[in-house]
Amino acid sequence: MIDNEELPIGFTMELAQHSDILNHFAQLPKSEQKPLVDKARQVNSRHEMREYVESMFRP
């Protein structure tokens, strides 16, 4: 997984609330994690972050 210092805190906190999503994210190669983290850096509110994390792996 990408080092914790590189993850936005809101993203990390939201992943911690969703162990299934966290596990899926952690299993991705860094090359697939990076765009997800980059997009998380663009999120401006806690509510948006929750929606983003909950939608990350939906079909």
pLDDT in tens, 13-48: 999 999 999 999 999 999 999 999 999 999 999 999
Q: Is the pLDDT of residue 10 over 90?
A: yes
Cα–Cα nearest to 49, from 6, 9, 5: 9
Q: Which residue in this structure is represented by tokens 């993203």?
A: 11
CA distances, 2 to each of 25, 26, 45 (Å)? 10, 8, 22
Prediction pTM value: 0.85
